[in-house]
Structure formats: structure tokens, C-alpha cells
Amino acid sequence: MKRIHYAIKRLALAGLLTATAAHAEWTFETDFNDDYPDGTEVYGTTVVEWIDDDAEDGVLQLTLAEGNQNGSWIVDDFSEGQTIGEFEAGFRMLMGGNTSADPADGMSFSFGRNIPDNTFSPAENGVGDGLRLSFDSWDSGGGEAPSIEIFIGGISQAVAHFTGSRRLTEADAYVIDPETEEPADMFTGDEFVEVKVSFKGGKFNLEYKGLTIFTDLELDFKPVAGARFAFGARTGGANNNHWIDDVTITTFAVGKPVISSFPPSEGAIVTPNSPVVVLLSAGSSPVDTDSIKLTLNDEEAPVEISEDGVVLTMTHAPEGGLAPNTAYTAAVTAKDSAGAKLEFSWEFSTSELVSIGDPDLVFDFDDGDIPEGTEVYGNAMVEFEGGVDDSGVLLLTEATNSQLGSFVIDDFNEGANINAIGVAMKLRIGGPGEDLGGSSNPADGFAFSFAPDVPDGTWLAEEGVGSGISVCIDTWDNGGGRGPSCRSKFWRRTVATAKMPKADLLTGFDFTDLIVRVETDGRWSGLQRHAGFRQRAAEFTDFSNGKIGLAARPGPGAFSVQQWMPFQIAVKPPAPRR
């Protein structure tokens, strides 16, 4: 009976005089002839079916060629919780047989953390904070498909385009079939084709349908412990079969301690209250915690260390924060019990302090009531608990698909012309993953707007509204590359955009500061989740009868909790006191 096989090989490194731990590798394989194996789980529409006359040849069917299907297969960590820096995978794949005019939507192969025990959407984009291989068959209007695309987290690294139905634009270049010397077709019809994936030595390689798609593509994928593999696929109004078989995956452990993540990241500009958090993963031997040291500009910085398996989290969060407007060089050193050393350094800087001065209006929502002079619309509500320390909170959307909520504050300036405004609040954008209040790839975002024509109702939330000021936090890329981002708008025109990784916008269960200040000369400054920005509007004029609107929405296939609490506003000239 074939089910799952684990093979551990200790590779002796003979002839090396330095203390180097032996490397380890683990292999998982299944042919589905005996159903899906132990240590894995199927979700949604995924089933194992036997497709030969003898009922011996099992295949995993993520979707059939039917509408509105979504299936996933999750492979739990089979590497004993060790830190994995490289892997190889091979499987056979069928993507064809659509009964609609065009095939949709695609499938994916992912390796990383934050992979849910569930389906995920859009399944063709992959899931988790690691490496994702996307087979996207449906062009949503941006010319992005049919294609094979590589992501680290939600950030695209490379894309290979195939011939097929495209809505608006042709691709700049296509994968060429060497036999025909014409653009290649991504689909397989009713045949299985071989897929070979490898990430070794920092380089990614992919072979598909006998075609070399990516060769020695350099990726900045950090080693990770406790990661899982995931296959996912979906259909919509259009459909396709998405099947896999004969899966083999081999993982390779790192031999010495490595850095998995280190916010603030290289080159980041953050606010002074940002902590320095370093995730250090052990190699083949445990890390000597007494050897761990963090320095900032050559001065040792105290850290708190917590352990979770082979992963150690170092946190430097001084009570007074970091020095404002300062360039930092950070360095981490450590060694493991076998003597293997880690030395790592990077640079970041802090912004000026951002504040709004004395507020003219404050809402804390602690009584659970809608404040006087305000109104909620759509799915928005005020709750007396759920905020920081279970204080009151404004809930614009829950972690449910297809919601839309808004909160509108009437003009509190008695019709006066306002030429500057500052807003401070605490904000939560849930996710990634349902355990953190969102889907695996949360959507769609929210916006703050200050304008005389903010409507008494709801609107397309993350785009802002009205002919005044809007700050838009867009967590979803609709195919044009605009999101995830923070955008500033005036008179409905975008005046500045700061692209950000989605991970920098999501807060999980935590509330984080959002501060926005617009000066009389049109200068914008602010912060969101420790990321500072300074912008200057091309045009800025004052206006009267200004209303304030907050709005958020999730999409039909991806979602996120979006909450606000203590909300403070200051304006110039100062508003009459209430």
C-alpha cells in the first residue's frame, strides 16, 4: 500500500575542519492510489477519484470543469519542525477539459507559513508568506493571464506569459514552444504533464510541459521552520479541470542559524515607536541564546528573546522608542551549539515624529453608542468591547465576504473654511488567515475622506470619496499593480502613491496607529503600522462644510476584519469646541 514515505539522510561533510552540522533532508511522496495520505487534508471541492477500469490509479481532483468550485490540498510540515532553506518538488498536473468558452481560473502550488486549514481565494494566486507558484488561466482585464507567475508572499517576482484568451492587451513576450517556434499554450487538454520545481542555492527553476519556464531565477526567499505545502484551484463562471498526481517533495534543512525576517526591513523608513523584531531560525544545532547580540549603530541594544520550536524572536522595543530622523545600521550575531556562526546586518531609518496637536474632536466608542453628529451605514456598527483592552470599537466590516460599511461625521466646524487637518486613530486590518481575522489573502481595504460632499451612505470604500482629501489603504491588487498601497488623493486625483507589501498593511489581532496630517501648504505626512510617509500635494485649497467619512469593504472572495478606535481630529482654524 502506497501512502507516504519519509526518508531522512544525514550527509557527512568529511574533510571539513570547521564545526559544521550535518545537513538533513526529508522526502514526501504519494500517488493517491490509496486516497490522500496521512499528514495531509483536503478542503472544498477536492476529492480523490480512481480513473482507470481497475480502480487502482487515484488522482487528486481539486476542481472539476464545473462552475464556482474551490478546492485545496494541504501537506503538513514533514520536516520535523526544522528550518528549511531549499526544496525540490515534482508532480503531474492536468489543467484542461473546460466546458465554458474560455478556461478559468487556475491553480497554484505554495510553500510557506500562514497556510490555512481551508480553501483560499483566489486559489490560483497561492497562499501564505512564502513561495507561491501561480498557474493563472483567466485574464481579469489587466493582461495578466494566461501565465505562470512566481510570488514571495503577495509580491510578484517573475511572470511567464502563454498564448490564449486575453481581454485587452497582448503580453510583451511569450513562452515559445521550440517545436513550433510559436507562443506556447499553457493548458494540457485531457493529458497529465510533468511539473518540476526546485529552489536551491537561492535560485528557482521550473519545467512545465517539457518547457523550461524559469532557469536560475534568483529569489530572496528566507529559510523557514514549520512551513507547509499547499495546492489550490478554483473555477468561476468559466471552468476547467484542475487535477494532480504522483507528487514527490524533498526538503533540505539549513546547516547553521539564519535570519528569517527582520522588520524594519532593508531600506525601510519607519516611525520612532517601531520595534526592531528579528526572527532567527536554528540550523542543525540549537542556537546558544547567550551568544545572541543586536547592535544599532555599533551600540549593543537590549533584546527580549522568545522561543517557538527552532525559531527565536528577538525584540528591541525601548520605552522611549528609537531616535527620530536617524539612519540606523543594525547587526545581529549569534552561534549555535556546534560553533556555526551567524553575522547579519542591514540598514533602515526613522522618520520625524508625527502628531496632530490638540484634538478638536474625540470619539472613543466606549459606551457602545453611535456618537452624536455621526451615523453608520451598511455593515458598520459601534460595539462597546473588542478594542484595545476590550474597549469600545467602530467595526466597519467583519471577516465575511461582500460587506461594505461606512461611518460619517457631520460638519463640526459650523461651515468654516478649513485649510489643514490632522487625524489620529488606532486601526485593525485582520489577516492573513482566518485565525487572524481575515482570509489568506485579505481584501479590499479602507479609506479616510474629508470633503464637503461625503455622502450619507456607503461608497467604493478603499477608493475614498468626495472632492476633498482622501487617504486610501488598498490591500488588493486588481491586476494593474496599484495595490497593495497607500494613496493620497485631492479632488479625486491621486497625488502620491506608496507601494507597500501587504504584510506591512495587515495587523492581525493588533491595533496600530494611523496618523494623517495635511498642512496649509499641501504637505502630507503620516504613518500606518510603523511605516512613515511624507508627500506634497500638487494642489491644495481650503473648503467649508467638510464632512468626514471612513469606509471599508472586503470582496466576494477575500475578506478582513476592519476596525477603528479612539478617533481624534484637529483642524485649522480650530473648530468651535463641543
Write the pLDDT tens digit of every residue in 75-87: 999 999 999 999 9
The pLDDT tens digits for 138-149 are: 987 667 889 999
Q: Does 100 lie in the same domain as 49?
A: yes
Please state, in angstroms and as integers, the Cα–Cα distance from residue 370 to each residue in 265, 361, 459, following that order.
40, 14, 20
Q: Does 244 lie in the same domain as 282?
A: no
Is the pLDDT assigned to residue 336 strictly greater than 80?
yes
Average pLDDT, the chain: 85
Please state, in angstroms and as integers, the Cα–Cα distance from residue 243 to each residue in 59, 60, 112, 210, 230, following that order.
7, 6, 22, 18, 14
Give residue 98's pLDDT. Answer: 96
| CA–CA dist 102, 165 (Å, integer) | 7
Give the least confident one: 67-76, 280-289, 352-361.
352-361
Does a structural domain hold residue 577? no
Give residue 10's pLDDT. Answer: 27
DSSP readout, 175-200?
A: PEETTTTEEPB---TTS-EEEEEEEE
Q: Does 303 lie in the same domain as 430?
A: no
Residue type, position 296, single letter = L
Does a structural domain hold residue 356? no
CB neighbour list of residue 406: distance below 8 Å, 6 or more residues apart: 376, 377, 378, 380, 396, 457, 458, 459, 461, 549, 550, 551, 552
Is the pLDDT assigned to residue 135 strictly greater than 90?
yes
Give residue 440's pLDDT. Answer: 64
| CA–CA dist 245, 103 (Å, integer) | 21
Give residue 4's pLDDT. Answer: 33
Q: Does 419 lie in the same domain as 435?
A: yes
Among 209, 224, 253, which residue terminates a domain? 253
> What percentage of residues in the chain have a pLDDT greater than 90?
55
Give residue 165's pLDDT. Answer: 77
The pLDDT tens digits for 355-408 are: 777 888 899 898 889 999 999 999 999 988 887 777 889 999 988 878 899 999
Does a structural domain hold residue 40? yes
- Alpha carbons within 13 angstroms on the beta-carbon side of residue 430 total 26
Give the residue among 322, 323, 355, 361 at the shortest CA–CA distance from 525: 355
Does a structural domain hold residue 511? yes
Q: Does 473 lie in the same domain as 407?
A: yes
Strand order in the sheet with 469-474: 374-378, 405-409, 547-553, 445-451, 469-474, 485-490, 493-499
Can you read off the three cell numbers belonging to residue 112? 510557506
Helices (H) and strands (E) in the chain, counts: 1, 43
Q: β-pairing, 269-270 with 341-350?
A: parallel
Does a structural domain hold residue 3? no
- Average pLDDT on 337-345 reads 94
Please state, in angstroms and as integers, the Cα–Cα distance from residue 62 to each residue in 96, 153, 310, 558, following that order.
12, 22, 33, 19
* Residue 273: domain span: 258-350
| CA–CA dist 216, 202 (Å, integer) | 8
Q: Does 202 lie in the same domain as 110?
A: yes
Give residue 450's pLDDT. Answer: 92
CB neighbours of residue 136 within 10 Å: 25
Is the pLDDT assigned to residue 17 strictly greater than 60?
no
Q: Does 392 lie in the same domain as 322?
A: no
Q: Does 447 lie in the same domain as 323?
A: no
* Bridge partner list, 408: 375, 549
Can you read off the three cell numbers belonging to residue 232? 489550490
Q: Does 314 lie in the same domain as 175?
A: no
Does a structural domain hold residue 204? yes
Burial degree of 465 (CB within 10 A; 0-12, 13-18, 19+): buried
Q: Does 73 lie in the same domain as 167?
A: yes
Give the residue among 495, 403, 501, 497 at the shortest CA–CA distance from 444: 403
Domains in the chain, number: 3
- Average pLDDT on 7-24 reads 34
The pLDDT tens digits for 219-236 are: 999 999 999 999 999 999
Q: Which CATH number do you get for residue 445?
A: 2.60.120.200
| CA–CA dist 106, 149 (Å, integer) | 11
Give residue 529's pLDDT. Answer: 59
| CA–CA dist 424, 408 (Å, integer) | 16
Q: Does 314 lie in the same domain as 242?
A: no
Among 236, 253, 270, which residue terminates a domain? 253
Phi, psi (5° rounding) for residue 374?
A: -135, 170
Q: Does 93 lie in the same domain as 70?
A: yes
